[in-house]
Chain A
Amino acid sequence: MISLDSVTVAFGRTIALDDVTLDVHEGITGLFGQNGSGKSTLLRVLCGLLRPTNGSVEILGRRASARDEDLKRHIGYVGHDSGLYPMLSVEENLALFARLYGAPEKRCREVLDALGIGGWARTPSRELSAGIRRRAAVARALVHDPAVLLLDEPYANLDDDAAALLSAAIVSWRRSDRVCIVATHGAKKVKAYADAGIILQRGRVQSAGIYRRAENVPAP
């Protein structure tokens, strides 16, 4: 569902991704590596926020492009920041993004409840704790029910209960026509439910493998 062919990303003299070639199949893939290994850069390339210096990316059988509005409808991304407007409430943020993606507004309540933050719907984003804001950011990425979900350190600032809720939301989102990449430097939580894993080291793929067969993933 996602293919990278000789992707290199350079920031001046710094090579963030070095000739990365890999295929990511349906299901949930953990993206592991230490700080500076290139996880965030890889996700930013996949979602279209960063153009690779060299190489090409294919997502859902189409060459990735920042201008492909139709492809953008199928991608949900959470970066290090929440991507929420601090002065708007959680539900106002979600309603705005639902409208921009052309998703039904009832999806807002569904994803808020799935992530256990329905009680914070009317709270301005700036007043949320870091953990709740993190979950609200994931809700924003899920509001349009994307086929490709890219999560960069989604467990940052989450306590064990919140992390369990987030894991449950990701697992219940999984279907055989969907792909999710979860980047994290702490592999334990993601390995518990991931179908495959990729380890990056200094911008290169150190290893990639399948933990369980994707056929076990529920059909759409």
Chain B
Amino acid sequence: MTAAASDAGFVAKTLALGRKDLQIEARARDTLPPMLAFAFSVTLLLAFTLPDAEPQPPNVLAGFFWITVLFAGLIGFARTFEVERQDGALDALLLTPIDRSAIFLAKAAANLLYIALVQVLLLPAFTILFSLRIGPGLAALLLVITLVDVGFVAVGTLFASLAAETRSRELMLPILAFPALVPPFIAGVELMSNLITGASFGELTNAGWFVILVVYDIVFVVVGALAFEFAVE
């Protein structure tokens, strides 16, 4: 088999696995709805904690946003391998002739979609409840959100695979993942806070936290794809 054919097979199988996860979620609806319910409940509660003064402190708004995303994401990621545990599907999957990084990438892609959907609905809610104004920095904010999300799902999916093998997996995932998730979330808070105060795209990409975020994503996507094989064993 040629390398090109092998790559095409890898991509096709990864897409098939990702489509399977989305198909199951569309029918079971047991990952996205709890994430959304949590995100909006917390946002509503937080809206009552701030004084009515405008504008709200940018770092506080950015902190609220990313804390909400962090916990909503972990609620969803904890269920990542639940679908594989039912009726021994993971064993059947591990016996197929696919590179295990394909399973990781498919799971991470599905998680990325879930967390992006939460954020698509969360941003307007923040605009209404906290008078969040981004203006011309919206494209830069979307870039920051994407970068934080990529690192978040890489770490979240990898640790979810480890936690899935433990009895108290919902508890284990945050314990395992929190320390590793500190850098991208601090970067997210700092960069989003700068954008709220009017930082330009050039200022954003020159910031140290931006570089850290990019490096973090590269490292953890690669580590996640490579380490996943050992995690599921």
A107 in the interface, Cβ–Cβ < 8 Å? no
What total of chain B residues lie within 8 Å of the partner, measured CB to CB?
Answer: 25
Question: In the bound complex, do residue A86 and residue B86 qualify as a contact, i.e. CB atoms below 8 Å apart?
Answer: yes
Given the interface contacts A97-B92, A99-B16, A102-B9, does A125 sit within 8 Å of B98 by beta carbon?
no
B53 within 8 A of A: no
Among the listed A66, A87, A100, A140, which residue makes an inter-chain contact with B28, where contact means beta carbons less than 8 Å apart?
A: A87
A116 interface contact, C-beta 8 A? no
| CB <8 Å contact, B87 and A87 | no
B54 in the interface (beta carbon within 8 A): no
Q: Is B203 an interface residue (CB 8 A)?
A: no
Residues of chain A lying within 8 A (CB to CB) of residue B13:
99-100
B interface, over-half SS = helix
CB distance A47 to B95 under 8 Å?
Answer: yes
Which of A77, A86, A92 interacts with B95 by CB under 8 Å?
Answer: A77
Query: Do B24 and A88 touch across chains, with their CB atoms under 8 A apart?
Result: yes
| Contact between B96 and A66, CB atoms less than 8 A apart | no
In this assembly, does B211 line the interface, its C-beta being within 8 Å of a C-beta of chain A?
A: no
The answer to whether A84 and B94 have CB atoms under 8 Å apart is: no
Find chain B residues with CB under 8 A from A48 CB: 95
- Specify the chain A residue showing the minimal Cβ separation from B96: A100
Q: Which residue of A lies closest to B98 (CB)?
A: A100
Q: Which of A47, A87, A100, A101 contacts B24 (CB 8 A)?
A: A87
Residues of chain B within 8 A (CB-CB) of A140 are 92
A49 and B94: CB pair below 8 A? yes
Chain B stretch 71-102: residues in CB contact (< 8 A) with chain A: 83, 86-89, 91-99
Given known pairs A72-B95, A73-B97, A75-B95, the reply for A84 and B16 (CB within 8 Å) is no
In whole angstroms, how far apart are the Cα atoms of A79 and B90 in the complex?
Answer: 12
B19 to chain A, nearest CB (A): 9
CB distance from A174 to the nearest CB of B (A): 21
Q: Which residues of A contact B (CB under 8 A)?
A: 47-49, 66, 69-70, 72-73, 75, 77, 79-88, 92, 96-97, 99-102, 125, 140
Q: Which 4 A-B pairs have the closest CB atoms?
A: A81-B88, A83-B92, A69-B97, A100-B96
Interface positions of B (Cβ within 8 A of A): 9, 12-13, 16-17, 20, 23-24, 27-28, 83, 86-89, 91-99, 233
- Give 18 CB contacts A-B under 8 Å: A49-B95, A66-B233, A69-B99, A70-B97, A73-B97, A79-B88, A79-B91, A81-B89, A83-B89, A84-B87, A85-B20, A85-B86, A86-B87, A87-B27, A96-B20, A100-B16, A101-B96, A102-B97
